[in-house]
């Protein structure tokens, strides 16, 4: 008779609807598109979580990462004003803002004084900003926080900046790197499915362009993250196809650092009638990501979006990273996120240890800063 919960789940999996998929996970075989869709359609949450936890253990052991970081959202003025977004504003409307370089320098200096090792910078597509603003923004942060990695400008912003400059993306990425850029965040991916993307964010670059920009960054030696926004109009097949497109690019470049599923927050958007994700959605999303993305070392639960307690539970559903201290965040809080905007390092230590894992503070590139006993 089984003596532990894990043994019980394994026995039930072996004779349930997911028995063949479980056998492939045990054997270390790559899962297919059909497998992914069947996982989404299954109600066996604990079985899926067990398999994802097994895959997590094989890939990265019991280490769980967090980072001491700070976010800077330099402008919310945006020419796209996507229906999915509550952050963007038109110029001159209430709440519209663009930070001056002096204001950005002050934020970067405050972050450096707090000992952050990453400054994460994203914003809207502001047509009033010249190309030099972006280069000088990076130079300013580099001077103010010389010890921190700079992760800035998602693929949508990079496409916009290159268009404004009339320059190839590769040239812009090279100049931003020379100014001090270390990596790109994974935002703007949303869901690659063209029809869903048309309804969510018709003016945004398409999925192929997003993948091309990340591939260009990888080819230049600039690592990036990957994301997917889930919990709105997409189907299970759309989610799986998105993950497999990321897996295919990672096979070719190896340039992705981490995958971060982003739970859609509908408040104050054109989709405020949607209910948002549930805890089951969030855990299945994270677990299936771990199982399908067998070439990604890090799967991150962004606690800002799902809350610190569910993020802690996610450590048993394939997750090995809880992201960072953050300190200030506008994009998801404008869309109804009710989480705090700051979580101290001590909170990560307590959360990770209580889950039976080993806390490790990292930098942007997953270099260990401190491993806690």
Q: Where are the domains of the chain?
A: 5-57, 63-371
Residue 149 annotated as binding site: no
Strands across the sheet containing 224-230: 224-230, 256-263, 298-299
- Ligand-binding annotation for 201, yes or no, is no
Q: Tens digit of pLDDT for each residue in 8-43?
A: 888 889 899 999 999 999 999 999 999 999 999 999
Tens digits of residue pLDDT in 178-192: 999 999 999 999 999
User: Measured on CA atoms in the order 330, 331, 337, 343, is the torsion positive or negative?
Assistant: negative
41 known member of a binding site: no
CATH T-level fold of 63-371: TIM Barrel (3.20.20)
Q: What is the pLDDT of residue 332?
A: 63
Non-local CB neighbours of 113 within 8 Å, separated by 6+ positions: none
- 82 assigned to a ligand binding site: yes
d(C-alpha 354, C-alpha 48), whole Å: 22
- Convert the pLDDT of each residue in 271-298 to its tens digit: 999 999 999 999 999 999 999 999 999 9
């Amino acid at each position: 008779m089984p003596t532990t919960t894990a043994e019980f789940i394994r026995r039930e999996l072996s004779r349930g609807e997911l028995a063949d998929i479980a056998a492939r996970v045990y054997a270390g075989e790559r899962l297919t598109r059909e497998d992914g869709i069947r996982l989404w359609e299954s109600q066996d949450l604990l079985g899926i979580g067990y398999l994802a936890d097994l895959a997590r253990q094989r890939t990265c052991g019991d280490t769980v990462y967090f980072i001491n970081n700070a976010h800077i959202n330099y402008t919310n003025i945006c020419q796209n004003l996507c229906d999915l977004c509550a952050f963007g504003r038109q110029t001159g409307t209430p709440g519209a803002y663009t930070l001056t370089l002096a204001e950005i320098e002050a934020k970067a200096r405050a972050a450096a004084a707090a000992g952050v090792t990453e400054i994460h910078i994203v914003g809207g597509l502001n047509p009033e900003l010249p190309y030099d603003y972006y280069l000088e923004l990076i130079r300013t942060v580099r001077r103010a926080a010389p010890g921190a990695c700079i992760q800035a400008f998602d693929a949508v912003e990079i496409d916009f900046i290159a268009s404004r400059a009339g320059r190839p993306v590769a040239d812009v990425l090279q100049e931003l790197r020379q100014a001090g850029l270390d990596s790109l965040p994974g935002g703007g991916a949303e869901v690659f499915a063209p029809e869903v993307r048309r309804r969510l964010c018709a003016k945004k670059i398409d999925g192929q362009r997003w993948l091309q920009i990340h591939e260009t960054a990888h080819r230049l030696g600039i690592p990036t993250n990957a994301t997917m926004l889930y919990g709105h109009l997409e189907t299970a097949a759309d989610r799986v196809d998105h993950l497999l497109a990321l897996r295919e690019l990672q096979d070719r470049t190896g340039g992705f650092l981490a995958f971060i599923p982003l739970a859609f927050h509908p408040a104050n958007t054109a989709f405020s009638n949607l209910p948002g994700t549930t805890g089951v959605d969030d855990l299945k999303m994270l677990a299936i990501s771990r199982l399908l993305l067998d070439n990604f070392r890090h799967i991150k639960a962004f606690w800002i979006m799902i809350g610190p307690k569910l993020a802690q539970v996610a450590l048993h559903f394939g997750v090995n990273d809880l992201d960072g201290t953050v300190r200030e965040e506008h994009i998801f809080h404008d869309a109804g996120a009710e989480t705090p905007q700051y979580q101290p390092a001590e909170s990560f230590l307590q959360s990770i240890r209580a889950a039976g894992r080993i806390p490790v503070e990292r930098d942007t590139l997953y270099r260990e800063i401190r491993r806690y006993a």
